[in-house]
Each structure stands twice: as C-alpha cells, then as structure tokens.
Chain A
Amino acid sequence: MTVHTVFRRALLAGGLPGALFALWWFTSAGSTDFYLPPLSTTLGKFGEVWTPERLRSDVLPSLLRLTAGYLLAVVAGVGLGLVVGTGRVVRDVLEPVLELFRAIPPPVLVPVIMLFAGIGDTMKVIVIVSGCMWPILLNTVEGVRAVDEVLSDTCRSYGITGPTRLWHLVLRSASPQIVTGMRQALSIGIILMVISEMFASSNGLGFTIVQFQRSFAIPEMWSGVLLLGLLGFLLSLLFRFAENRALAWYHGLRRAQRNP
C-alpha cells in the first residue's frame, strides 16, 4: 500500500465526518441560542468535563455494564440458538414465542424489570441482555439451520460427533451469521446502556447526560452526547477488527466465489 492510497482512503473515510463537523462549527459559531451553544464552547467544555476521574466514575461503570450484558447476551443467544436451530420440534414450539418477545421494544421493559431487579447494576445488565439477545439468537438459529448437508455427512462418516462436531462444524459454519447478530446487538446494547441509566441510576454516562440537561448545563450535555458518539464509533472499530480476524476465512471464501 503506497502513501498515496493510504492518503486517499483516509480522505474518503474521514471526508464526510470532517465536513459535517466543519458545518456544525461554522453554523453554530456566534450562536446565542441557549440550547444550541457554539461547537467551540462544547469542545472547550469537553476537556473540562471528561476528566480522568469522571471517566472512571461515570464512563467505566457504563462500559462494565455494557460488557457484562453484551457477553451474557452472546452466551445466552448462541446457546439457545444452537438448541433451537438443531431440534426441529424445539424450533416449531419456540419460534412463535421468540418472535413475540423480539417484537417488544426493550426500553418498555425497563420499568417492569425495575420492579423485580431494583435500580442497581443487575437491572441495567438484565435490560441490556433482554435487548441484545434477540438478534444474536435469531441469527444463530438461521446459521445453525444452514449447515451444509454434505459437510454434515462428511462429519458423520468420519465419526466427528459431539463437542467436536458442535465446535468445528456447527458453530464455525454458523459464525458469519452469529457475527451479524452480534453486530446488530452491539448498537442495541449501547442504546439500552444509556436508556437504563437515564431511568434510574447514581452514575453512568446516561445518568450524567440527564443530570447536565436537568441542571441546564447545556454545553456539558452536548459534550456528553459527543462522547457517546465517539464511544459507539470506537466500539464498532474494535468490532470490525475482531470480525476481520475471526472471519478472515469467510471474507476470503466470498472473494474467491465472486471471482473464480
């Protein structure tokens, strides 16, 4: 890769965000609207508000809840997805129920879950799990159902059964779909992390943003929104990095099929 192509790529990827920021900067410059402060003010507050202590006391708890909820959702979604995808009877019985649960918007469940789980970390993790699980579960079911018949026969004839089959055949061949579900779940998870903290909390990113809004600290509030966007962007970069490593074979296979 030459310097030229690196530059070109950076320009293509960063061009539009840069332009939008510039637009925001210039249109908001000199704004006297109390609710829409100039971007320069917001950015100025950013460094003031998001100090290392604050990152530790408010951002870290949010990220820990997200991580716990997300990982639990992956385990539950993939585990249940394997059961539902493998057994036809289980699938016929469970699928309508699963579709129903999936259709309930998870934020609606926050007050309900609060009744049972209180307003602590448990509630927030449960909220995140209850929203993240569905895309992972349904995509896993699809992936497991699509395991190639010839490959399955090959495994049987070589006596590849039990856990070996589950790992090397079923999970690996369903992994592209599982990852698709996990990608959808990640953005749902971030949304639910914030929402659960807005309802009831004593710390966290969502809590802090609402506090700023209630105390009319508008530039501080905007800086929190910016941080949230940045966080989502970094997490998706991280996700893509992990995906490219785990699914290198899949992307290679797709390329090979496109240009035989």
Chain B
Amino acid sequence: MLDVQDLQKIYTGRHRNVEALRNLTFHIAAGELVCLVGPSGCGKTTLLKCMAGLLTPTSGEVRLDGRPVDGPPPGMAVVFQEYGRSLFAWMNVRDNVALPLRRKKLGKARERELVDHALEVVGLADAHQAYPWQLSGGMQQRVAIARAVAYEPKVLLMDEPFAAVDAQTRADLEDLIRRLWRELGVTVLFVTHDIDEAVYLGQRTLILSTSPTVVQEDLTIDLPDERDQLHTRSSTRFAELRAHVYEQIQRAKRHSGDVNGTQVADRMPQAAPTKAQTEVVGSE
C-alpha cells in the first residue's frame, strides 16, 4: 500500500545543510492505522510532507500502491495540525468540505450526498452555514476531518491534528478517528508527539529517533480492537505499552541516526557527517 524506502531529506541552507531525515524504511498495509511518534523536532512533519508529495526527498522514495509519489497523489488526504490555517476563512463549512470534490466532477447530487454524510459523521450536521472562525478549535478540526472524509481517500495522513485542542475534545476526536477508520476502511498514518495518543489509537506505532531520523522501533500495539477512553487507558497492557514507548522516546532523545547502532551505519552508503553538522535543530 504505502512504502517508504531509504528516505532521506537534507535541507540545503546558505551556510549549512540540515539532515532532517537520515534513512527511513517502513511499510504500511492497506487498511492499517499506524501511529508515528518521536521526540519533538525529529522531522515528523518533514516525513509526512515527503509522503504527501508536498516535499521532494533528497534520496529514497515513497510508493503508493507501487507507484512512486512525486507530487500530491490523488486518493490521499492530509489533515494538518493548524486547523485555523488549513480552512478557507472566506467559505462556510459546507463550501470548505465541497471545494476539493469539484475536481472529481461527481455531479451535484453525489457531491451533496458526500458533503452531507461527511458533516454528519463528524457531528457537524447543523453547522453547514457557519464560517470556520465562528467555531471552536475542536469543531474546526472536525471540519478539516470532514473535508478529508468527503474526499474519499484511500490514505489519510494526519499531522499532529489534535495537538492544539483541549484534552476533552481531544479524547472525542481520537474516538472519532478510530470510528471513521473502521467504518471507511481507510489507511491512516497518524503523526503525534503524544505518547498516550500513539498507543491508544493505532495498531502499530513507529517510534522515530532524533534528527537525523531513523525508525527506532516498529511496535505492534496488541490491545483489543474495541477501545474506549476509560477501559483501554486503565488496562495493564496499555500501561506497559505506554511505558515502553516512553522509554524508547527517552532513549531516542539521546540517540540519533548517527550513533544508533551498527545496523543503521551499515545501510548508509555515504560517510557519516561530522558531529558539527549533525548538531542542528530539527525541521519542525
């Protein structure tokens, strides 16, 4: 479904080059819900933008259904963290959701049906005429999610979508994502810096190292498929997984792709850069 192979991204600056992603390889099967977690500044956003075709990687490639991604592929929707900046402030909720559908030329009736349904499932059935700035943060992010749902993507990429909403809204939205994922059968990659969220949501969690970034661990979340905020979060297994991810993130903060063991170094065709080059801020 979605393959990331030896992905590397170096930002070339005037005075220095920043290697944000060192060497990333992973695979996401169709219909999976995978979380991506890592320390702040580890290049999560860079990775997501490369996967969405919004950024060209320095080397390596991303493949969607076997086809290399060299621009935003059709059938992929992205939900960004900054809901306030990803919605059209000059359009009401309904037009915001409907605009991406125009290109698909589905016909008025089908378009109306998709928009109605999308707004219904995210719980905004009575906010069609409102403008985004009249809504709360959580509701604005629901509009962005509805827009992605109406688009009927095969893959949904989410870049820390709930980082800027309050904790209660966040729990609701997490359950919404689980529900949509199961109902729509869409493949979801959910980027987060929140460890609880990374464990609660996905079937698998990819833990990233600090920049220059490699995949530090590919962890299967063996929690039961039926999850709810109360019982899942209080289960022993959840606590164990959470502790494990937490330890890995702590380890990740001390390690980067540079010093993260021999198997990483083996894969690197070029010489490792000097220490001075790697002590740079991440891309986020």
Which one, B4-12, B73-81, B238-246, is touching chain A? B73-81
- Does A150 lie within 8 Å of B90, measured CB to CB? no
CA distance A150 to B78 in the complex (A): 11
Residues of B within 8 A of A249 (CB): 89-91, 131, 133
Complex contact B102–A154 (CB within 8 A): no
**B74–A159 CB distance below 8 A:** yes
Cβ of A7 under 8 Å from chain B: no
11 contacts between A and B (CB under 8 A): A148-B85, A150-B80, A150-B85, A150-B86, A151-B86, A153-B78, A157-B72, A157-B78, A158-B99, A158-B147, A249-B90
Any A CB within 8 A of the CB of B53: yes
CB distance from A173 to the nearest CB of B (A): 7
Q: How large is the interface on A (under 10, 10 to 19, 20 to 34, 35 or more residues)?
A: 20 to 34
A100 CB → nearest B CB, Å: 29
* A253 contacts partner chain B, Cβ-Cβ < 8 Å: yes
Kindly state the separation between the CA atoms of A202 and B213 in the bound complex, as whole angstroms.
76
Q: In the complex, what residues of B have CB within 8 A of residue A172's CB?
A: 88, 90
Pick the contact of A150 from B82, B131, B134 — CB < 8 Å?
B82
Interface residues of B, count at CB 8 A: 27
- CB-based nearest A residue for B92: A249
Is the CB of A168 closer than 8 A to any CB of chain B? yes
Contact B90 A153 (CB under 8 A): no
Which residues on the A side are within 8 Å of B85 (C-beta)?
A: 148-151
A145-170 residues at the B interface, CB under 8 angstroms:
148-151, 153-154, 156-160, 164, 168-169
Closest CB of chain B to A179's CB: distance in Å? 12
A21 at the interface (CB under 8 A from B): no
Complex Cα–Cα for A173 and B91 (A): 11
CA distance A159 to B99 in the complex (A): 10
Decide: A159 near B90, CB < 8 A? Known: A164-B102, A256-B133: no
Q: Count contacts between A and B, CB distance < 8 Å.
A: 69
Binary per-residue interface labels of chain B (82-120) against chain A in the complex, 1 for a CB within 8 Å, 0 otherwise:
100111111100000001101100000000000000000
Of chain B, the residue at the smallest CB distance from A162 is: B103
88-143 of chain A: CB within 8 A of chain B? none
Taking Cβ atoms with an 8 Å cutoff, the residues of A that contact B are 148-151, 153-154, 156-160, 164, 168-169, 172-173, 175, 249-250, 252-253, 256-257
Assembly CA distance A257 to B88 (angstroms): 15
| B151: chain A residues within 8 A (beta carbon) | 158
Q: Chain A residues with Cβ under 8 A from B99's Cβ?
A: 158, 160, 164, 168
CB-based nearest B residue for A154: B86
B52 within 8 A of A: yes
A159 touches B100 (CB 8 A): yes
Inter-chain contacts of A150 with B (CB < 8 A): 80, 82, 85-86
Given A153-B54, A153-B78, A168-B88, A160 and B133 touching (CB < 8 A)? no
